[in-house]
Homo-oligomer: A and B are copies of this chain.
Amino acid sequence: MKRFTLSLDPDSIIKITSAEWIGPKDIVLSNVCEPDEADSSSIIFCEQERLLEQVKASPAGLVVTSASLQARLGSRPLLIAENPYLTFMTMVSYWLELEAGQQDYSIHPTAIIDPTVRFEGEAAIGAHVVIAANTVIGDRVSIGANCIIGKDVFIGTESSLYPQVTIYDSCQIGKHCILHSGVVIGADGFGYQVMEGKQQKVPQVGNVIIHDEVEIGANSCIDRATLGSTVIGKGTKIDNLVQVGHNCVVGEHSILCAQVGLAGSTIVGDWVYLAGQVGAAGHISIGSQAMVGAQSGIASNLPGAAQYFGTPAIDANLMKRVVVSWKHLPEMYRAYQKTLKGDKSD
């Protein structure tokens, strides 16, 4: 259950959602939840017939539902929408923004901020945050407790860092980005050269550039470039525990699911979808709108606007037929061996 600090009145809900309100309006609504968690101030949604009984039994104050289910929900406050889930979520997003608007922009007294740090406006800086020299913090940026921000960093307007994020020196974060706890931006790329009988470190003196509206999940890592920049394009969303190697360039609006790993210098296009645990070799390119199935291993360039699966990743439909064939392989092999013996006994 998400309890909001502000309640929403029926007229605001109607205005936000452009949906039809049915029933009495003398209710105070202050949380959203599942039907079985609800109380009289809850808003829930119902768009599946199989959940009807559960919803009917729920004391929720308001049910967001469709015209087709309306009659079966009895006489209680309803919000009738074409797409109840979307309408419900639009309302929740609005509500969260209302709440965010109440953010207290202040700097916790335990934060340690170098005197050369420049604030472009107000900012919320949590306890024990450290911000090093020459860094610029955009307007209405929020930085959670214990974040460590290096030197010469830039963080754009209205970006949010949850607690325990680390940003190394010289990295740039765009506007409206969200970085979850444990994210590490700008750690050294993984580069060594064997010299004099050991792995000699190749210095990593580039940076990371994260464009606007990027979200990065908990404990994900974007390594700094050897030289130049590792880049995450505008609007791209990265899940938890993802690894992006040095000098990768990821395009716009792409989706990298949890535990994806990109080796160094790989180019990912726009609107690419990499499912969970996909790995990509270094120095290759994945075309825009490519979709790659879970756990696939991308070993070479993939043209865009196509679906891939497998290790190494090939056409998804072909690979699906391959894996279906696998289970017949032991039998086929026995038959093949028999043929061989037959040939010999000829």
Provide the bound-state CA to CA distance between A325 and B329, in Å: 6
Q: Which of A198-244 contact B (CB under 8 A)?
A: 198-199, 201-203, 205-207, 213, 215, 217-219, 221, 223, 227-228, 235-237, 239-241, 243
Determine if A142 is an interface residue (Cβ-Cβ < 8 Å). no
Determine if A192 is an interface residue (Cβ-Cβ < 8 Å). yes
- The answer to whether A199 touches B112 (Cβ under 8 A) is no
Given A228-B33, A279-B259, A325-B333, verify A146-B168 contact (CB < 8 Å): no
Interface mask (A31-45 → B, CB under 8 Å = 1, otherwise 0): 011100100000000
Most buried by B among A202, A310, A323: A323
Interface mask (A251-273 → B, CB under 8 Å = 1, otherwise 0): 00101011101010000000000
Provide the bound-state CA to CA distance between A322 and B311, in Å: 11
Provide the bound-state CA to CA distance between A89 and B189, in Å: 14
Determine how close the nearest CB of chain B comes to the CB of A37; give it in whole angstroms: 7
Q: Which of A308-329 contact B (CB under 8 A)?
A: 310-312, 314, 318-319, 321-329
Determine if A93 is an interface residue (Cβ-Cβ < 8 Å). yes
Determine if A127 is an interface residue (Cβ-Cβ < 8 Å). yes
Provide the bound-state CA to CA distance between A237 and B93, in Å: 34
9 closest cross-chain pairs (CB), A and B: A2-B205, A184-B218, A148-B163, A166-B181, A187-B218, A34-B228, A325-B329, A321-B330, A243-B258
Interface residues of A (CB under 8 A from B): 1-3, 32-34, 37, 86, 89, 92-93, 96, 108, 110, 112, 126-128, 130, 144-146, 148, 152, 162-164, 166, 168, 170, 178, 180-182, 184, 187-188, 190, 192-193, 197-199, 201-203, 205-207, 213, 215, 217-219, 221, 223, 227-228, 235-237, 239-241, 243, 245, 253, 255, 257-259, 261, 263, 276-277, 279, 281, 294-295, 297, 299, 310-312, 314, 318-319, 321-330, 332-333, 335-336, 339
